[in-house]
Homo-oligomer: A and B are copies of this chain.
Amino acid sequence: MKIENPNPIQWRFSDRASQLQSSFIREILKITQRPEIISFAGGLPSPATFPVEQMKAAYDKVLSENGKMALQYGPTDGYAPLREWIADYLSTDSCKIVPEQVLMVSGSQQALDLIGKVLIDEGSRVLVETPSYLGALQAFSVYRPEFKSVETDDHGLVPSSIPAVAEGARLLYALPNFQNPTGRSLSVERRIELVETCARLGIPLIEDDPYGALSYKGEPYPKLLNMNPDGVIYMGSFSKVLTPGIRLGYVVAPLPLVRRLELAKQAADLHTAQITQMVVHEVVKDGFLQQHIPSIRTLYANQCQVMLDAMAEQFPKGVQWTRPEGGMFIWVTLPKHIDAMKLLDQAIAAKVAFVPGAPFYANDPETNTLRLSFVTVPPERIREGIAILGKLIAAQM
């Protein structure tokens, strides 16, 4: 029952939609999912760390004991027992977090979208690290801010450089632990300075913390949240410590903001799957993460060391890289004249992939940088891939 000769629609997209670009990483991922490619490109956690049996048992238990509740609509702010668990997990002796501050979201990426929606007007100034997480730049871009890059050195974000760009800033977005893409972490001194600076200037400070628990030494850094719970918006996720495919994260924010974020979430997708939250609560409530996370740390610390050793052996002089103490990424700086984007073409032809660094810069990209992930590929293939990459770089020196 088709209608005859309809006019073709002349699509008129919103101005906002013109900002939409596919993440370069996800585009590369499509290429690099071919099994013959040694991919250092993805930020995919190692599937070897997924607690499949525990998840299966939890789905079975939740559906057996509480199936109708798990499959029904739920509250926008999230499943209360999980919010309580998270508040408790993030509380310290001197800083108690309450469940009302916790909003469950469909992965941290959704937290970025909701924060952008609620805090950014067109042209609003947004402060980011140099370089910063691509997914955050992408999420915020939709709301058309003016990005200002905050200076960074080998030790990460430089707090003393904030006042120069602070005027009118709606937020500062930072990833203090094992940053994506650089793998750098902020020292305790810099954390204090960062939190104090933002508090003094009245700038909401976003602490994105997907990797904080993945410290290879096992000792996590203090959270910015706990230094100033009234000025910090904390983003956490189960993606890197449990599994990413369930899409479950959370935001912890001061009450006036968290209520706005909740309203934005209600309009965006009503709520995050009830069953997912109940299952995760079932898995984590009795301390599973405390046993599980060390096994992830050990695996990643080993693969990180394998990659660092291989780089020391195979990369020519003049190439520099970070030495992460946790997380999933190493950041490489090539001599200035080498364009990582062109290197990627050659690398893919030689069956190795990585992510060029340029897309991680909000302003003035450094085209001689790249990001390597060491978590998805096993040690033997890491050595093989780094050797190939070393030869390609050497050929350009």
Contacts and interface: CB of A to CB of B under 8 A. Distances in A.
A106 interface: yes
A199 interface: yes
Interface string A1-43: 1110011111111111100111100100000000000000010
A6 B228 contact: yes
A260 B17 contact: yes
A347 to B, nearest CB: 22
A337 to B, nearest CB: 33
A267 B10 contact: no
B264 A11 contact: no
Given A47-B68, A52-B63, A55-B71, A269 B15 contact: no
A195 to B, nearest CB: 5
A175 interface: no
A55 B67 contact: yes
Contacts of A188: 1
Contacts of A56: 59-60, 63-64, 67
- Determine how many copies of this chain the complex contains: 2
A317 interface: no
Nearest to A72: B245
A298 to B, nearest CB: 19
Contacts of A309: none
B268 A109 contact: yes
B68 A50 contact: yes
A244 interface: yes
A113 B267 contact: yes
A259 to B, nearest CB: 9
B231 A269 contact: no
A1 B94 contact: yes
B120 A14 contact: yes
Interface string A244-255: 111100000010
A142 interface: yes
Interface of A: 1-3, 6-17, 20-23, 26, 42, 44-45, 47, 50, 52, 55-56, 59-60, 63-64, 67-74, 76, 92, 94-95, 105-107, 109-110, 113, 117-121, 124, 135, 138-139, 141-143, 170, 188, 192, 195-196, 199-200, 202, 204, 222, 226-228, 230-231, 239, 243-247, 254, 256-257, 260, 263-264, 266-276
12 contacts: A1-B188, A1-B222, A3-B192, A6-B195, A9-B202, A13-B119, A17-B118, A50-B68, A109-B269, A110-B269, A246-B273, A273-B276
Given A1-B222, A21-B263, A71-B244, 10 more contacts: A1-B188, A3-B199, A7-B231, A16-B118, A45-B72, A59-B63, A71-B245, A74-B245, A106-B272, A273-B276
